[in-house]
Amino acid sequence: MTDDFDAGAEPTVPAWAVFGDLMSVMLGAFVLVLLGVIGVQMELSARLENEVKQRQEELKRRQTLEEALAGPLAAGRVTLKDGRIGISGNVLFALNSDQLQPEGRALLKSLAAPLSAYLGARDEILMVSGFTDDQQVREGNRRFADNLELSAQRALTVTRALIEAGLPPASIFSAAFGSQQPVASNATEESRAKNRRVEIAPVPRVSAGAGATKPHA
């Protein structure tokens, strides 16, 4: 009777085997979590390293530009802020005019060589931007319809002067902002003079294929 009962009973799994399986599952889960943490840390480390590299390159770019413009900066003829070269409109032009004054032409001529050298080692081009104060163009001046047109012609004049001085035409373009984006209040003549300016800023060069559309068949 006892033999028949024993023969029909299922064997009991040892406790140590169950514990071993449980530990294996826990160990596998721990390894997966550990691998995930390591992966996240590696990604964050790579991002941080890339960000540091970009900041170092930007700092080096600005230092190089400052070195290239050391002479004009020391003489107070130009300013350099956030990578933008600022030139007072009073140095370049008479009021409501887009004709370069002798001092302005000489200054642009002195900038052409260092700017060319700066661009030579970078995939960048120069944006020449014209700005004015908020005063209307003088009555009787039929050359310009408004401040936007005046700033556009001034930017073109500076661009052409830099090209004539040796800057490659493919490395420079013009932009006009009129009285927009002032750097002073326009409340006084002194502040308005600060807003009458031209800025030269290096910007990334757009590749030839960027934004291009495929021709229709």
What is the overall mean pLDDT for the chain? 82
- The model carries a pTM of 0.67
Work out the number of other CB atoms within 10 angstroms of the CB of residue 213.
Answer: 5
Which of residues 207 and 213 earns the better pLDDT score? 207
Q: What is the pLDDT of residue 186?
A: 92
Query: Rounded mean pLDDT of 27-43?
Result: 81
pLDDT (tens digit per residue) in 54-110: 777 777 766 777 777 788 788 777 888 887 899 988 899 998 899 999 999 999 998
Q: What is the pLDDT of residue 166?
A: 94
* Separation between Cα atoms, residue 63 and residue 80, nearest integer Å: 11
Residues in contact with 146: Cβ distance below 8 Å, sequence separation at least 6, in sequence order: 136, 137, 178
Query: Rounded mean pLDDT of 175-187?
Result: 93
Strands 84-88 and 79-81: antiparallel
Contact 165, 109 (CB under 8 A): yes
Query: Rounded mean pLDDT of 129-157?
Result: 88
Q: In the predicted model, is pLDDT for residue 123 greater than 90? A: no
Q: Tell me the pLDDT band of 26, cut-offs 50, 70 and 90.
A: confident
Count of positions (residues) in the chain: 217
Of 91-105, 110-124, 153-167, which one has max mean pLDDT?
153-167
Closest alpha carbon to 163 in 112, 105, 104: 112
Contact 195, 134 (CB under 8 A): yes
Give the position of tokens 């070195």.
Answer: 67
Query: Rounded mean pLDDT of 33-61?
Result: 81
> Token pair for residue 8?
């029909």
The CATH number of domain 69-204, selected from 3.30.360.10, 3.10.310.10, 3.30.1330.60, 3.10.20.30 = 3.30.1330.60
Q: What is the pLDDT of residue 158?
A: 97
Q: What is the pLDDT of residue 20?
A: 67
Q: Tell me the pLDDT band of 51, cut-offs 50, 70 and 90.
A: confident
